[in-house]
């Protein structure tokens, strides 16, 4: 069936069908620079202008087109020729090379699994924060012309908002970001830490359970998730004692100093450590001081030497990367009916 609008066939009032047909036309080169006005397309597809605008907005969110007031809907260069590999930019920050990082490497591998299977080209943009403040200088960061982006590591709202302002589909992967409007796949340690504290309190009869990890956050409050879970769970077994809590950034070399500071104040009968990265040096310091207590780490990293009395709360890092990649591709392909949203992966006490 044809109409008088260039001979295009009629389509039902379904956003998915409209999006699929507009993408087909762009890939075929029917639209190379500008799409017809929304009112014209609405008449062709026999839908109201509101429905057409929703479909065009979803194409814009997918990075296929760009919409500007008083300008119209333009085809993005990255939305172009069929068969051309789409480029996905991974914005990464860590204390070592991306695929050598003991925690983030598995998240990156999960991203690569999905993007490579989808025929996408994944590029890494390793950005560095100021060592003392952990803040990013936006004037020194350059973004590519990627069709979509994944942010792995950084949680600074100003940086994330700046990346989101490029109006390319984006998603965060890994640590929780406190902004409720920022799309992401993040780890939820709440239940896992609760189970660990129950194990220490009920089975091991521990009543002085210490904590080493982030206890303050002036950039991303989401970094306090583990600490808050500890505070909630531990009070089932003991009254809070500030002496049992030691703040520490989870970076190799910081654990030994942190446990020394804690032991100088008090003697715990168990320790919850917010990152397995710190476990080897903490275990070594405890052994040097002749102290044998249960240790519970977080993240589930593979340790070269596992302490005798040690368990961990494991995060499915590769699955986090895979899920984030699938959600981003769905957004880019216009398959999501709404926003990407926030998705939690529960960590498990093992």
> Which of 79, 99, 133 is the C-terminal boundary of a domain?
79
The predicted pLDDT at position 80 comes to 43
Is there a single domain that holds both residue 307 and residue 195? Answer: yes
Selected residue with higher pLDDT from 77 and 131: 131
Residue pLDDT, tens place only, 148-185:
999 999 999 999 999 999 889 999 999 999 999 999 99
CA distance 30 to 80: 11
Q: How many domains does the chain have?
A: 3
Taking residues 37-64, report their average pLDDT. Answer: 86
Is there a single domain that holds both residue 194 and residue 179? Answer: no
% of the chain surpassing 70 pLDDT: 93
- Whether 6 is in a domain gets the answer no
- Whether 337 is in a domain gets the answer yes
Taking residues 217-233, report their average pLDDT. Answer: 96
Residue pLDDT, tens place only, 60-78:
777 788 776 666 888 876 5
- Whether 3 is in a domain gets the answer no
Is there a single domain that holds both residue 208 and residue 289? Answer: yes
Which range of residues forms the domain containing residue 284? 190-314
Is there a single domain that holds both residue 233 and residue 173? Answer: no
Is there a single domain that holds both residue 307 and residue 206? Answer: yes
- Edge-to-edge strand ranges of the sheet holding 121-126: 121-126, 87-92, 148-152, 170-174, 184-188, 342-346
Is there a single domain that holds both residue 247 and residue 331? Answer: no
Helices (H) and strands (E) in the chain, counts: 10, 14
Write the CATH number for 19. 1.10.10.10
> Which of 27, 54, 79 is the C-terminal boundary of a domain?
79
- Whether 23 is in a domain gets the answer yes
- Whether 4 is in a domain gets the answer no
277: how many CB neighbours lie within 10 A of its CB?
23
Is there a single domain that holds both residue 307 and residue 333? Answer: no
Taking residues 18-31, report their average pLDDT. Answer: 86
Taking residues 99-128, report their average pLDDT. Answer: 92
- Whether 2 is in a domain gets the answer no
Is there a single domain that holds both residue 305 and residue 233? Answer: yes
- Whether 270 is in a domain gets the answer yes
Is there a single domain that holds both residue 305 and residue 338? Answer: no
> Which of 63, 79, 95 is the C-terminal boundary of a domain?
79
Is there a single domain that holds both residue 322 and residue 177? Answer: yes
Is there a single domain that holds both residue 116 and residue 153? Answer: yes
Which residues share a beta bridge with 310?
295
Residue pLDDT, tens place only, 88-102:
999 999 878 788 888
Residue pLDDT, tens place only, 281-300:
999 999 999 999 999 999 99
- Whether 164 is in a domain gets the answer yes
CA distance 217 to 349: 25
Cα-Cα-Cα-Cα torsion 202, 208, 209, 212, nearest 10 degrees, comes to 180
Name the pTM for this structure. 0.77
Is there a single domain that holds both residue 268 and residue 221? Answer: yes
Write the CATH number for 115. 3.40.50.2300
Rounded to a whole number of angstroms, the distance between the first and last alpha carbons of the chain is 62
């Amino acid at each position: 069936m044809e109409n008088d609008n260039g001979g295009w066939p009629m389509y039902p009032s379904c956003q998915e069908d409209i999006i699929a047909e507009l993408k087909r036309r762009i890939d075929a080169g029917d639209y190379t620079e500008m799409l017809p006005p929304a009112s014209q397309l609405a008449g062709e597809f026999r839908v109201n202008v509101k429905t057409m605008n929703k479909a065009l907005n979803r194409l814009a969110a997918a990075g296929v087109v760009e919409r500007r007031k008083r300008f119209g809907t333009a085809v993005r260069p990255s939305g172009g020729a069929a068969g051309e590999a789409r480029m996905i930019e991974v914005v990464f920050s860590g204390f070592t090379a991306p695929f050598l990082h003991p925690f983030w490497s598995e998240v990156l591998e999960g991203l690569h699994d999905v993007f490579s299977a989808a025929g996408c080209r994944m590029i890494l943009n390793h950005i560095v924060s100021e060592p003392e403040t952990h803040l990013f200088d936006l004037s020194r960061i350059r973004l590519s012309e990627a069709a979509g982006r994944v942010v792995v590591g950084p949680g600074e709202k100003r940086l994330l908002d700046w990346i989101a302002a490029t109006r390319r589909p984006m998603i965060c992967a890994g640590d929780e970001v406190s902004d409720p409007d920022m799309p992401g796949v993040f780890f939820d340690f709440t239940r896992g830490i609760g189970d660990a504290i129950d194990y220490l309190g009920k089975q091991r009869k521990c009543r002085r359970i210490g904590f080493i990890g982030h206890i303050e956050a002036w950039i991303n409050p989401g970094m306090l998730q583990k600490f808050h879970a500890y505070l909630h769970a531990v009070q089932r077994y003991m009254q809070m004692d500030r002496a049992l809590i030691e703040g520490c950034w989870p970076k190799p070399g910081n654990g030994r100093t942190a446990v020394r500071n804690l032991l100088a104040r008090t003697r715990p009968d168990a320790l919850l450590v917010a990152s397995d990265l710190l476990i080897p040096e903490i275990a070594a310091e405890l052994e040097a001081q002749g102290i044998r207590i249960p240790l519970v780490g977080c993240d589930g990293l593979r340790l070269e030497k596992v302490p005798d009395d040690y368990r961990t709360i494991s995060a499915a890092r590769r699955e986090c990367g895979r899920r984030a990649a699938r959600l981003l591709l769905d957004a880019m392909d216009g398959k999501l009916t709404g926003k990407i949203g926030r998705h939690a992966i529960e960590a498990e006490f093992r």
